[in-house]
Homo-oligomer: A and B are copies of this chain.
Amino acid sequence: MQFHLPADKMPTAWYNALPEMPEPMQPPLHPGTREPVGPDDLAPLFPMALIQQEMSGDIWVDIPGEVIDILRLWRPTPLVRATRLEQALGTPARIYFKDESVSPAGSHKPNTAVPQAFYNKQEGVNRLTTETGAGQWGTALSFATAQYDMECKVYMVRASYNQKPYRKILMETWGGEVVPSPIADPDHPGSLGLAISDAVADAVGRTDTHYALGSVLNHVLLHQTVIGLEAKDQLELAGERTPDVVVGCCGGGSNLGGIALPFMTDPKVRLLAAEPASCPTLTEGTFEYDFGDSAGMTPLMPMYTLGADFVPPSIHAGGLRYHGDSPIISALVKAGRMEAVAYPQGKTFEAAVQFARTEGKLPAPEAGHVLRAVIDEALAAKELDEERVILFSYCGHGFLDLAAYDDFNNGRLIDA
């Protein structure tokens, strides 16, 4: 059962969590001087509008009309009640999800790719670079730059470039240029850290070019709050008040932030992060200043981290393989405002297949993590005979991840 907002009820402002955080945020530090980073330090990479959003004290930030015009291609996304999953579980819980898989790129990523492209274009920058691992973010940015007639160059981790040609073709179809990284060593399989270095070096070296990041940073989470803001209005349409628990899978934190931050100031709402046991940043990492990339080129950020040189096993949920976490998400976990749970990937594929067979939709492996947490919450509610209202973000479909399902269906999945 779907609950739709009319197109004219799309949010017209993003929710900025920064001024309402439980504790004030610690600033990012310059990698060289270890002094707080200022706007000028970031100017070679980002347009001033995004730098201001990164540090903004305003609770609401207007969404430009030119951005709304593009988001409207697929937003508002449906809120769906998963009644058939509820029935299969025999739970008194009511389960709702925001279907972010309906975006052109098939995930929540375009929610921030579009405004990032727009603000760059507005400040006269016509070319963006970025890195991509499995390809979700590179796809989203290629789509977004195509809408504003900009150039996009994606440095794709070479191993993925060779093993996952479909994502590359999708980027190229939208006009993006995709090259394997590291560019300097054609025999190296590459890593996300090295691809960031390639993309940043390209942007720093050209005055017509900026760099774009798909997660972690404050302005990225800001743009994703359309997910939770729409969900609030749609829960009302569904006859619900507030959810009891809001759940998202968490790699860099943008999807989880998008669904959870608009509920942050309501103490009745539990917030829950689901992450891979093989990359247990929030559940087993340390809260400290660390680099965003493995090469140590980015500012130091206050976050839960497994160490900038941590290399997680090659699980299928490539979007969750990040050594650190968004400073906002990290601060919420540290303050006790958000819970976190970690799952091995076998358990997440069991949940994904149960969802596919009841609700029909084939989840991305990342979404398998949130589904595992949601099903466990629903079973706990059953145990307690409790009418729990569960809301989660269905962050993407798995049509380009079918090889992973083949491994699972045939018992070849490494249960890391």
The answer on a CB contact under 8 Å between A170 and B84 is no
The answer on a CB contact under 8 Å between A165 and B406 is yes
Interface centre among A80, A143, A397, A399 (most CB of B within 10 A): A399
The answer on a CB contact under 8 Å between B73 and A359 is yes
Task: Determine how many copies of this chain the complex contains.
Answer: 2
Question: Once bound together, how far apart are the Cα atoms of A174 and B173, in whole Å?
Answer: 30
Q: When the two chains form the complex, which single residue of B84, B106, B173, B360 contacts A356, counting CB atoms closer than 8 Å? A: B173
The answer on a CB contact under 8 Å between A360 and B3 is no
The answer on a CB contact under 8 Å between B402 and A104 is no
The answer on a CB contact under 8 Å between A402 and B169 is yes
Min C-beta distance of A142 to chain B, whole Å: 10
Q: Which residues of the other chain, B, contact A362 by a CB distance below 8 angstroms? A: 104, 170, 173
The answer on a CB contact under 8 Å between B357 and A174 is yes
Task: Kindly state whether residue A60 has any CB partner on chain B within 8 Å.
Answer: no
The answer on a CB contact under 8 Å between B402 and A175 is no
What sequence of 0s and 1s flags, for each residue 159-173 of chain A, a beta carbon within 8 Å of any chain B beta carbon? 000000110011011
The answer on a CB contact under 8 Å between B399 and A106 is yes
The answer on a CB contact under 8 Å between A357 and B175 is yes
Given A7-B3, A175-B357, A360-B147, are A402 and B170 also a contact pair (CB < 8 Å)? yes
Task: Kindly state whether residue A125 has any CB partner on chain B within 8 Å.
Answer: no
Task: Kindly state whether residue A384 has any CB partner on chain B within 8 Å.
Answer: no
Interface residues on A, range: 35 or more
Given A72-B2, A106-B399, are A172 and B409 also a contact pair (CB < 8 Å)? yes
The answer on a CB contact under 8 Å between B405 and A173 is yes
Question: Once bound together, how far apart are the Cα atoms of A132 and B102, in whole Å?
Answer: 26
The answer on a CB contact under 8 Å between A74 and B360 is yes
Question: Once bound together, how far apart are the Cα atoms of A361 and B146, in whole Å?
Answer: 12
Task: Kindly state whether residue A4 has any CB partner on chain B within 8 Å.
Answer: yes
Question: Once bound together, how far apart are the Cα atoms of A360 and B172, in whole Å?
Answer: 13
Q: Which residues of the other chain, B, contact A356 by a CB distance below 8 angstroms? A: 104, 173-174
Question: Once bound together, how far apart are the Cα atoms of A4 and B106, in whole Å?
Answer: 20
Question: Once bound together, how far apart are the Cα atoms of A389 and B179, in whole Å?
Answer: 42
Min C-beta distance of A187 to chain B, whole Å: 24
Task: Kindly state whether residue A403 has any CB partner on chain B within 8 Å.
Answer: yes
Given A104-B360, A169-B409, A400-B399, are A6 and B7 also a contact pair (CB < 8 Å)? no
Task: Kindly state whether residue A226 has any CB partner on chain B within 8 Å.
Answer: no
Q: Which residues of the other chain, B, contact A414 by a CB distance below 8 angstroms? A: none
Chain B minimum-CB-distance residue to A404: B169
Task: Kindly state whether residue A351 has any CB partner on chain B within 8 Å.
Answer: no
Task: Kindly state whether residue A220 has any CB partner on chain B within 8 Å.
Answer: no
Question: Once bound together, how far apart are the Cα atoms of A402 and B105, in whole Å?
Answer: 13
**Closest 4 pairs (CB-CB, A-B):** A104-B360, A4-B4, A399-B399, A166-B402
- Which A residues are within 8 Å of any B CB, using their own CB? 1-7, 69-70, 72-74, 76, 80, 84, 102-106, 110, 143, 146-147, 165-166, 169-170, 172-175, 353, 356-362, 397, 399-400, 402-403, 405-406, 409
